Structure 1
Amino acid sequence: MSARSMSGAGITDAAPSVVTGSLIRASDVDEAAGRWPQYEAGLRWLDDFVTQPHPELGRPGAVCPRLAPALHARAVWLATVDVPAYTADQAVLAGRLLMQLFNDLARQSDRADTTLLGFFPDLPADRAADFIDGGHRLLRNEFAAHGLMLGEFHQASTVGSVHNRALPVMRSPEPMFAVRTMTPHDLLFADQPDTPPAERLAYLLHFDRHVSARLSSAARTQLYARIAAARTASRTGASS
């Protein structure tokens, strides 16, 4: 029985690892054609959906307005991660590994443009939601504390656009985590459905620390009002 097939017992010393040779720039994928089919599928999805406008998005512009400039700057990196078990705990370890790798890569180019996509090609489709979404829930504020955003993508994702919750913008053909720096735009993601008030408050405080200096005075006023509301909700246990 492989370590990956075990439920968790006996693998406490095992940790995720980046597959040797898998770290490449998105712009160099053609040079490794056929070796990393997950990259080819993922990049087709980025080209056909993520970097394009969508009639159901609820706003003008691309689904992700940051990605095309990052691709143009050759600042998008791809890596394949091997995990010993498909559990949320292992997803957390994988996310932290990708955070460390992102920080190393960001020293080589503009940190604001750098994006890292970590692929999990061996992750079964019926385990993807628990692994990717479960890991994201546990890691979201940990990444925010470092001024980073963690995106969660898989084939069965139900995460919708901020402007149209019915459009599943995180539904990708390959399961992956995406790591990038936090931007002023990310204030939109503070109020995700079902986010507990204490977690919302923590996210807003991290956002304030890392991003508020780049906001207009009006946006900072709005941010501080949202922090005050989240702090009150956290004390009272209200949902909003």
Structure 2
Amino acid sequence: MTNDRIALVRDWLHDYAPHPHPQLGRDGVVCPYMVRALRRGYVQIDGFAADRYRSGDPTAVDAITDLARKELRRNLRRSTHMGADRTYLVSMIVPHGRPDNELRTLVEQAHDQLKPEFVPAGYMAGDFWPNHDTVGLHNDDFRPFTSPVPVLGMRPLVAADLAFFVKHEPTPRARLRYLRYYADVFRGALNDHWSLRLADALAAAERDVSAAEGDPC
């Protein structure tokens, strides 16, 4: 079962991410980043045996987040010897052994725990599952995080990820928090285009927080 689900996820990545999609809302492939990551063999996919835990057991979330942190440490170590290619290190964890609705909850809870740790470290944490309702950046009818089975993923933060923090954070306060993390990660490293977009996004987030909460940032 583990190998079958890993193979399914690997096939999905190859068939989906590096290709155009009619609902994408822009020209090009779904994820330009993954084109090079896949081509260079930098995508690591591991299984997680959720059936070792009872339904709803919180230690399952602890275990999968510990595995994700281990993958992050491994990637950070590898990145010191890879030069510019370190940008393309991807890790994905595929839980198995429980019903998919439970695995989705497991991935969602793990993602919620990891995101505030990973982004300041310069990594994105991603949650994927069937019928994911998060909309695309360029078309609200597109669902970019829909996958055949629940998956927890991670990859290095890139400048273009600014758009995710602008559009996908659920509250102005959360948007401002992650924009500040992004600013810290890329301090002194952004070109004029991204620097201006970041400055505009921060200013808008600060205004929105003040309007929503009635206090200065």
1:94 maps onto 2:76 in alignment: no
Matched residue SS, 1:160: coil
Instruction: Give the corresponding residue for 1:207.
Output: 182
Q: Which amino acid aligns with 2:199?
A: Y
Q: Any unmatched runs of 5+ in structure 1?
A: 1-33
Output the CA distance in 2 between the equivalents of 1:48 and 1:177. Answer: 18
Higher helix proportion: 2
1:176 maps onto 2:151 in alignment: yes
1:76 maps onto 2:43 in alignment: yes
Matched residue SS, 2:24: coil
State the TM-score, normalizing by the size of structure 1.
Answer: 0.75
Output the CA distance in 2 between the equivalents of 1:92 and 1:228. Answer: 36
Q: 1:187 aligns with which of 152, 155, 162?
A: 162
Instruction: Give the corresponding residue for 1:143.
Output: 118
1:86 shift after superposition: 5.6
Output the CA distance in 1 between the equivalents of 2:187 and 2:27. Answer: 25
1:93 shift after superposition: 5.1
Does the CA-based 8 Å contact 1:86-1:131 persist in structure 2? no
List, as ranges, runs of 4+ consecutive aligned residues in structure 1 with deviation greater than 4 Å: 85-90
Q: 1:119 aligns with which of 89, 94, 102?
A: 94
1:105 maps onto 2:75 in alignment: yes
Work out the number of aligned pairs and report it.
Answer: 205
Instruction: Give the corresponding residue for 1:63.
Output: 30
Output the CA distance in 2 between the equivalents of 1:214 and 1:188. Answer: 17
1:85 shift after superposition: 5.1
Output the CA distance in 2 between the equivalents of 1:112 and 1:88. Answer: 35
Output the CA distance in 1 between the equivalents of 2:55 and 2:121. Answer: 25
Q: Which amino acid aligns with 2:130?
A: Q
Instruction: Name the CA shift for 1:141/1:71 in 2 (closer, same or farther; >3 Å).
Output: same
Q: CA deviation digits over 1:42-69, x for unaligned, max 9?
A: 1111122122111110111211111120
1:123 shift after superposition: 3.8
Output the CA distance in 2 between the equivalents of 1:176 and 1:128. Answer: 9
State the superposition RMSD in angstroms. 2.4
Q: CA deviation digits over 1:134-185, x for unaligned, max 9?
A: 4323432321111110111112312221111211221111211111000011
Q: Which amino acid aligns with 2:179?
A: L
Instruction: Name the CA shift for 1:96/1:165 in 2 (closer, same or farther; >3 Å).
Output: farther
Identity %: 23
Q: Any unmatched runs of 5+ in structure 2?
A: none
Instruction: Name the CA shift for 1:131/1:165 in 2 (closer, same or farther; >3 Å).
Output: farther
Instruction: Give the corresponding residue for 2:12.
Output: 45
Q: Which amino acid aligns with 2:72?
A: F
Matched residue SS, 2:210: helix
State the TM-score, normalizing by the size of structure 2.
Answer: 0.83
Does the CA-based 8 Å contact 1:212-1:220 persist in structure 2? no
Q: Which amino acid aligns with 2:64?
A: A
Matched residue SS, 1:36: helix
Matched residue SS, 2:204: helix
